[in-house]
A and B are shown apart, each in its own frame.
Chain A
């Protein structure tokens, strides 16, 4: 009469299906995904839209948008096409966003995981270093690093990664501190699993969801930081970047506002897409937080 405990429940659909169903519920997140897709598409098709160098002279300087068919979004004060700069700028923004985020997340995970897992003096030491970084304002540190390293795009990306690892490190540490006492970690240790595998194979996958969500925030911040650097004229002048465009457009802001407004809108929408994406990821990965 008793239901035998060994009967299995019906199988659940695969993980990615469940994930997509939860993600889909959030309309704003779908919008974010759409915007993100557009930016990626822009980056991919930049070569098709304008096979030449985006920084070459393409027409008369300061042509307003929707006037000249050859330069649909107009030209800047040096006669460069805003449209093709916009498309090539998407590449730089994505590159900076993705690489800088990877750099900061990887540093954050290593430091946070070690501090959270081992605790004690390791934790004390690593957290004091983290605090030292946190006390210096992000942008000031970034300026210093760029001043030292030079303003090549690779160095800028690395520098952005270096100034934004502290928040993920603290997050990973907190996750590790709560997860390391869970019984499944003891169970794995009792099987003879080494510390390295415990950290990276057992605990880390469980600590990842909030980190991935936060990564979208870092990505948005990195793009903003890069733009801010370029705006101050510290960006890499050899690449078309949205920040560079705004920075140069500033000089003609009153006469040709579109020179800085168009890349500005691009930045706003890209950053917005990342935040919405992050929110959707949060709903999909931590379904129990919201009900």
Chain B
């Protein structure tokens, strides 16, 4: 549609060199891309594909000299950016090219008000009087739909919500009507409903201003939502690029096909007749408030209710999803049922025994029945222990012979599809997905009745995520496990869960079979959540791939 106008940004054969001893010599090898006015170009790739570094190269924000541009051309509005001096670059940055970062909390200075920070950009590049600048800043805040721009102007970053902070970032980025906006995963840190609003906002504003947008993301749902043109990166090389429609619905390169096939689809499994099976885990009337501990002089702050009167039942062999946005209390639920946190009221029954009424000694014995897979694969394995000891630890604590437990740990590694050679290594030698597999093996070593999984795949790349989810589903079916699966990602929930509980601000707003809720959500919050899934109208094409 805009292909005949002159491009804003042309990148030719860009190479970025990595320091010696890195996993590959070039972070980016021969990147070609063009951004036209009014076009959104999405750069997609998994972690380590070099997508963020390419943005850094365009803005000249690379951590030089370790990482530096080794060749190629970056032509912005007819000028070669690589030939510019640092002083000339400073005039371009923020003024004609601006950037929106991933984490709005850390991208804003916590010590200065929002207004001061927008004004700083204007002071540097606009050359207008203070009054005019303030009027312009307020106008921009209004354009990004911040409720009450005047009070937001005087607020500090911590006083406004995450979504509003990202709006402020966008207002800052667009305040000088740049020709090119680089957005580096701008919605990754946001909740799904906020994400959709921000995506819409970026698209609307960009249409009004006619700027070109280079949008970096790992999420194909977001790509489907926003992109005109798509570039797929893998390990620093472009594997495929083309119009969004073509790449998404008819990918040519096997890697793109595999990536797209890994995106969980939104078709939940048909409801299983599970209600006749015995209940293995039952929560009744669970409640947890976090009382903020007041100091001697500061006085008591208001207590926060994290979970308010939660009841649920988990049947044998069933997967129950707990979904909700951040702050909904879903992680607290996972800690309450495993009694890593003590509930204020209620009961958690595992096979008829109330976990919350146990003495510490009884509790240690009961723990083998309910195991957990944690969210952060980097933090959940003790960095100073060998994998075999990590997996065998549970059984040894519960009195099994150490040699037998270690032998079984090696078998479990095979079960989670890792080579037995992994047994004697330390956790830092593994990738995120592999660590999560080790975490699963550790949980399985106890032969638990219930596994509680707290966002087990949210830190993983999409192709790895698909593999870990498949493993979990396989193991569940093979070993007749019951899963309590906490997630914020409705696509993941749709793929794995038989029933779901939707939580909002500590309360259950809706519960039922996944298929029924997805087809016909009753509560407005659930409806809103489902309508906010990025790319919900796009169904990934199904293709056979040789792997994954």
Chain A residues within 8 Å of B397, by CB: 191-193, 197
**A127 nearest CB across to chain B (Å):** 15
Contacts of A206 in B (CB 8 A): 382-384
- Residue A67 CB within 8 A of the other chain: no
Q: Measured between alpha carbons, how far is A184 from B379 in the docked complex, in Å? A: 6
Most buried by A among B259, B367, B382, B426: B382
Find the B residue at minimum CB distance from A209: B384
Q: Is the CB of A191 within 8 A of B374?
A: no
Q: How many A-B residue pairs have CB under 8 A?
A: 106
Select which of B368, B374, B383, B425 is within 8 A of A192 by beta carbon. B368
Residue contact A190 to B367, C-beta cutoff 8 Å: yes
Report Cα–Cα, A9/B435, bound state, in Å. 13
B149 to chain A, nearest CB (A): 38
Give the CA-CA distance A186 to B364 in the complex, in Å.
13
Query: Which residues of chain A are near B430, meaning CB under 8 Å?
Result: 8-9
Complex: chain B residue closest to A184, CB-CB: B382
- Decide if B439 is an interface residue (CB 8 Å cutoff): yes
> Which of A1, A187, A205 has a CB less than 8 Å from the CB of B258?
A1
Interface size on A, residues (CB 8 A): 27
In the complex formed, the residue of B with least CB distance to A15 is B426
Q: Say whether B547 contacts A187, CB under 8 Å.
A: no
Q: Is the CB of B545 within 8 A of A187?
A: no
Q: How far is the CB of A231 from chain B (nearest CB, A)?
A: 42
With the chains together, A205 CA to B382 CA distance in Å? 9
Closest chain B residue to A208, Cβ basis: B384
Does B255 touch A at the CB level, under 8 Å? yes
Cross-interface CB contact of B340 among A5, A15, A189, A202, cutoff 8 Å: A189
Contact partner of B365 among A2, A6, A192, A202, CB < 8 A?
Answer: A192
A210 CA to B383 CA, complexed, in Å? 15
Instruction: Please judge, given known A-B contacts A8-B419, A191-B397, A191-B446, whether A1 and B382 are in contact too, CB under 8 Å.
Output: no
Residue of B nearest to A12 (CB): B429
Q: Is the CB of A184 within 8 A of B429?
A: no
Type the 1/0 row for B364-406, where 1 means its CB is closer than 8 Å to any CB of A: 1101100110111001111110000000011001100000000
Chain B residues contacting A186 (CB-CB under 8 Å) are 335, 340, 372, 374, 380
Contact A5 to B464, CB < 8 A, known contacts A190-B338, A192-B398, A206-B384:
yes
In the complex, what residue of chain B is closest to A190 when comparing beta carbons? B372
Question: For the complex, what is the distance from the CA of A191 to the CA of B368, rounded to whole Å?
Answer: 6
Nearest B residue (CB) for A206:
B384
Q: In the complex, which residue of chain A has the Cβ closest to the Cβ of B253?
A: A1
Q: Are A5 and B384 in contact (CB under 8 A)?
A: no
User: A202 and B382: CB pair below 8 A?
Assistant: yes
Contact with B along A155-198 (1 / 0, CB 8 A): 00000000000000000000000000011101111111110010
The minimal Cβ–Cβ distance linking B53 to chain A, given in whole angstroms, is: 17
Given A2-B548, A4-B547, are A194 and B372 neighbors across the interface (CB < 8 Å)?
no
Residue of A nearest to B439 (CB): A187
Question: Closest Cβ of chain B: how far from A166's Cβ, in Å?
Answer: 23
Considering the complex, give the chain A residue whose CB is closest to the CB of B375.
A183
Q: Which 9 pairs show the lowest CB-CB distances between chains A and B?
A: A1-B254, A191-B394, A183-B380, A192-B364, A5-B433, A192-B367, A2-B258, A205-B384, A183-B379
**Extra A-B contacts (20), CB below 8 Å, given A4-B467, A5-B434, A188-B382:** A1-B257, A1-B258, A1-B545, A2-B545, A2-B547, A9-B431, A182-B379, A186-B335, A186-B340, A187-B374, A187-B380, A190-B338, A190-B340, A190-B367, A191-B367, A191-B397, A192-B363, A192-B398, A202-B382, A206-B382
